[in-house]
Amino acid sequence: MRTCVVLLILGLPMALPAPDSPPIEDQYLYQALPDVPLKLSDGSEARLSQLSSGKPLLVTFVFTRCAGICSPLLRSLKGAAAKAEGGFRILAISFDPRDTPADLSALAAHVGVAQKQGWNFAIAAPADMQRIAKVTGFWFQWDSTSRQYDHPGLVLVVDRGRILRMRAGGTVPAAFLQEALEETRGKLAKSYPLPGKVAFRCFQYDPATGELAFDWGAVLMLLPGGVAIVLAVVVFRRGRTRVRISMKNSLMWP
Amino acid sequence: MTVQLKALYLFLAIAALLILVFALAALSTTSSIPANASAASRLRKSFAILLGLVLLAALGLTLPNTPYPRQADVPEKVVFVVAKQFAFGLSETPITTEEQWEAVSSSAPLEIPAGALVEFRVTSFDVNHGFGVYTAGGRLLAQTQAMPGYVNRLRLRLDRPGKYPVLCLELCGMQHHEMRGAFVVR
Amino acid sequence: MDAAMDRIRRVTLVWMITALVLFPAMTLLGYLIRRFQASPTPAAHPEWFYSLLTLHALGMVGTWFVSSMAGVSYLLSRYVRPSPAVSLGAFFGTLAGVVLVCLATVGGFFGAGWYFLFPLPLYPNGAWPAWATALFFGALALLGTSWLVWALDVLRAISQRYSLSAALCLHYLGASTEPEVPPIVLITTVSLIVCISGLVSAVIVLVLFAAHWAGWLNVDALLMKNLTFLFGHTLVNISLYLGLGIVYEVLPGYAGRPWKTNRIVAMAWSSILFLVLFAYFHHLYMDFAQPGWVQTLGQIASYFLSLPAAAVTIFGVLNLIYGASMRWTPASTLFVLGVLGWAIGGVAAVIDATVAVNFVFHNTLWVPAHFHTYFLAGLVFFVLGFIDHLGRELSPGEEPKGLSKFTVALLVVGAYGFVATFYWSGASSVPRRFAAYPDEVMRGAAHARTSLVFIHVFLLGMILYLWMAGRRCVRALFS
């Protein structure tokens, strides 16, 4: 559940994401992404709003020289996207000023995705990247010993320019993506349970299908009706040896 | 006209009709009219069909109009609400501990922009409460239950600036009637 | 009259006299509750308000459930033999339960409301001690067990003469009218099956409460709320149905025409058996955690419950009296007025059972408005009518006609004036169950002050009624 992330990191400062902690989804929900210009891997230019218009957009942040989570994250996203239904675009934005369109093409080829599958790789100007970072909680820091950027893995689900869902971490579960895409199509959960061990939930929200599934609590809800019917049947079966009672009409009629 | 007044007028009209019909039936007992079973049966049939159609029409008109969030718009802002005996804490950032709740429930009312679609994510730290959004003049605009273990999403667009009190709409203990919260639309 | 019949008669009189004592007492509590709300100043002792509210509600629900049960059992004894011993046992169980509930509320200030929504009883916040909660739960267990045994015994009595399908009049659906089953048998069978499901639900709620309290389980609040309303809604609902059973059985005698089971009556009541179990979902519309299809089902079931009510029972009563040579006595007048009150309250209920309307009506005073309409001007009138009918049958003698008319008029004016103040408050967003009103909804205090006038009128009518009908019952009991 989306709030697991929140509760697992209880006690951390809530205001701004400190380096070394991933951003918390609940803090950035419904934030509007700035409409920044992007340079795409094929050398063309596009604005972010063009990519997010008409279809949901999945956004993630990478740099091509990453020896850490960038490639595994992209592969995980690719796997989840292959299982998900419906039209959407994917945008991987590089935050490394050294990256060129050619670097990005190489990364796309390395991961095995192409633009016609809805994948876009792009470079944002450093100032624009800062504006994006501000509304998403994404951060990156140059670590001179490892000669790598330190950064969290992050996937945003953007609908009509606003952050609908967000997931931090090195992998993207297919269930998360499915649930988020269902939400963009209007299958919105009106409510969601908080994590915690609770006995007999009535309706368990199933993120894999986006549906509420029956749980043992629902069985308990059907029990009273069932017991009443069974008791009635038992009582009436016992009464089979019926005693004829003579009517006492004179008793009631005034 | 508010939903409340429409409902009241509809109720009064049907109640008046019922009283009239019962009065006519009662008055008819002064003159002896022989029972006509087949006429009654025909009338009952037409009445049942008519009532069934009215009910279906009312269902068709009202069922699509539920207060539950839909994906027609993406909200521009999310407000986290935690109810606890006996106050509502409203915050722009998630409230996950009692200390955070203490801080937000006693601080100045949260501000939300006028005309913006806001999603309230409502839950409770103890018992069931009711998150009832009122106008300053005391008209109930919207509500959802604050249930422990669940987060209910209530979406609301408020155009008129001003202070909006929140009252508790589920019996929650001895200070239930004093339990409040508030936010300001600017 | 044989000895068995005499025992049934006596135990019925005991129940009715008890109702005549409990009802004014609980009405006085209602008066005190409205007194609290009428005050423009903050409540000095809200613990009194909430504990009296709990006692008033449970007391009223219990009083009208047992009196309609007792009335129906008595009338059923024309056809079958419910055990007077079980009825008497239920009487003592109820009496003990009432004492325990009084101790828990007035003595221990237990104030979580009559349906004690989980987990409020366990979070008193210093308002009541743990023993009060335990006592309240003990009382509920005692009441529930007594009533469950009683309901099973009445079903057993019916089973001695009718098979289950005959008692549910299923053969009428296939156009067969043999064996002939009086409507009261059908209505009682349907109501008691529903009643048992409600009581079983209460048992599950109590067990889960105990398990949660003991720390064995962490119970889901949404499940508890569903079960709580399955219990609360059905218990209240079937009390009304049993009251209607009385009307179906007794009113034809005053109209001089029969009111028999036929295909449409059978269809209506079997559809009720099915629909009533889904109607309670309308109590959870504002729990967005409940799936959308459950909410839709709740609205559809609530809407379509009104169809058999209107086309069969209300139409049936109007058809029965239309042009009939009615004997208008307090009993027959109260029956017809009661059906009218049930219908009007039902209209308000259906309006509130609309999700879009419930959004601004849920837990406002519209809710007590509608249920006081079909209780106070509905079920109460059915039972008072039955008491009048019973009293006249067992202890003849006439009051001045003007006095009975005046009494009924006072009851009607008092009841409708009283509920009008609730509707007025509900339509103007005043929340229910507030010990005192905050400034935004202070108009609720003015409405409460108006309601006090009508409570006086109603109580005056009640005193006159007690003097007439109560005397007859006492006379009949000791004759």
Per-residue pLDDT of C14-72, as tens digits, reads 999 999 999 999 999 999 999 999 999 888 899 999 999 999 999 999 999 999 999 99
A164–B151 C-beta distance less than 8 A: no
Q: Are residues A172 and A97 in the same domain?
A: yes
How large is the C-alpha radius of gyration of chain A?
A: 28
DSSP one-letter string for B128-170 = -EEEEEE-TTS-EEEEEEE-BTEEEEEEEE--S-EEEEEEE-S
Q: Is residue A252 part of a domain?
A: no
Residue A237 sits in the same domain as residue A212:
yes
Q: Express each pLDDT in C367-397 by its tens digit.
A: 999 999 999 999 999 999 999 999 988 888 7
Question: In this structure, is residue A118 part of a structural domain?
Answer: yes
Report d(CA B184, CA B56) in Å as an integer. 40
**pLDDT tens string B108-145:** 999 999 999 999 999 999 999 999 999 999 999 999 99
Give me the residue spans of the domains in chain C: 3-477
Chain B positions touching A11 (Cβ under 8 A) are 97
Q: Residue C284 in contact with residue C229, Cβ under 8 Å?
A: yes
Tell me which of A79-83, A179-183, B59-63, C89-93 is least confident: A179-183
How far apart are the CA of B115 and the nearest CA of chain A, in angstroms?
15
Residues of chain C with C-beta less than 8 angstroms from the C-beta of B179: none
Q: In this complex, is the C-beta atom of C81 within 8 Å of any C-beta atom belonging to chain A?
A: yes
- Cβ contact C441–B134 (<8 Å): yes
Cβ of residue C5 closer than 8 Å to a chain A Cβ: yes
Choose the weakest-confidence range: A7-11, A126-130, C73-77.
A7-11
C121 touches chain B (CB under 8 A): no
Residue with the larger pLDDT of the pair C291 and C21:
C21
Q: Do A224 and C159 touch (CB under 8 A)?
A: no
- Per-residue confidence at A206, pLDDT binned at 50, 70, 90? low
Mean pLDDT of A122-126: 92
Contacts of C359 in chain A (CB under 8 A): none
For C220, the closest of A200, A232, A247 (CB atoms) is A200
Contact B149 A190 (CB under 8 A): no
Neighbours of chain C (3+ CB pairs under 8 A): A, B
What's the gap between Cα C97 and its chain centre? 17
Assigned architecture for domain B77-185? Sandwich (2.60)
Three-class secondary structure of residue A141 per DSSP: strand
Percent of chain C exceeding pLDDT 70 equals 100
A chain contacts of residue B72, beta-carbon cutoff 8 Å: 186
A48 and A7 within one domain: yes
For position A11, what pLDDT does the model report? 33
Residue A225 to residue C219, Cβ atoms within 8 A: no
Residue among B95, B62, B56, B79 at smallest CA distance from B131: B79
Q: Is the residue at A18 inside a domain?
A: yes
Q: Which of A190, A248, A249 sits opposite C288 (nearest CB)?
A: A190
A209 and A153 fall within a common domain? no
- Kindly report the backbone phi and psi dihedral angles of residue C48, in degrees, each rounded to the nearest multiple of 5, phi listed first: -70, -45
Is A248 among the domain residues? Answer: no
A56 within a domain of the structure (yes/no): yes
Cα-Cα-Cα-Cα dihedral sign, residues C285, C291, C292, C298: negative
Q: Is residue A205 over pLDDT 60?
A: no
Mean pLDDT over A37-52 rounds to 91
8-state DSSP, A242:
P
Q: Are residues A206 and A179 in the same domain?
A: no
In a domain, A75, yes or no: yes
- Tell whether A121 and A232 lie within a shared domain: no
Q: Is residue A137 part of a domain?
A: yes
Give the per-residue pLDDT at B71.
60
Return the structure tokens found at A154: 């992050």
Q: Which residues in chain B (2-61) have CB-CB distances under 8 A to chain A? A: none
CATH of the domain at A37: 3.40.30.10
How many domains does chain A contain in total? 2
Collapsing DSSP to helix, strand or coil, B95 comes out as coil
Q: If pLDDT is split at 50, 70 and 90, which confidence band does A196 have?
A: low
What is the rounded distance in angstroms from the CA atom of residue C90 to the CA atom of residue C62? 12
CB contact at 8 A, B86 and B175: yes
pLDDT of A9 reads 35
With a cut of 70, say whether residue B83 has pLDDT above it: yes
> What share of chain C in percent tops pLDDT 90?
87
Q: Which residues of A touch B74 (CB under 8 A)?
A: 30, 159-162, 164
| Rounded Cα–Cα distance for residues B72 and C45 (Å) | 47
Q: How far apart are CA C80 and CA C87, in angstroms?
A: 14
Q: pLDDT by residue (tens digit) across C227-280?
A: 999 999 999 999 999 999 999 999 999 999 999 999 999 999 999 988 888 899
Structure confidence at residue C1 (pLDDT) = 52
**Is the minimum CB–CB distance between B142 and chain A shorter than 8 Å?**
no
Domain of residue A201 covers 197-242
**What does the pLDDT average to over A176-191?**
74
From A159, A184, A209, the end of a domain falls on: A184
Q: Which fold has domain C3-477?
A: Cytochrome C Oxidase; Chain A (1.20.210)
Q: Which of A197-206, A232-241, C67-76, C357-366 has the lowest mean pLDDT?
A: A197-206
C:394-453 residues touching chain B, CB 8 A cutoff? 423, 426-429, 431, 433-443
State whether residue A252 sits within 8 Å of chain C by CB: yes
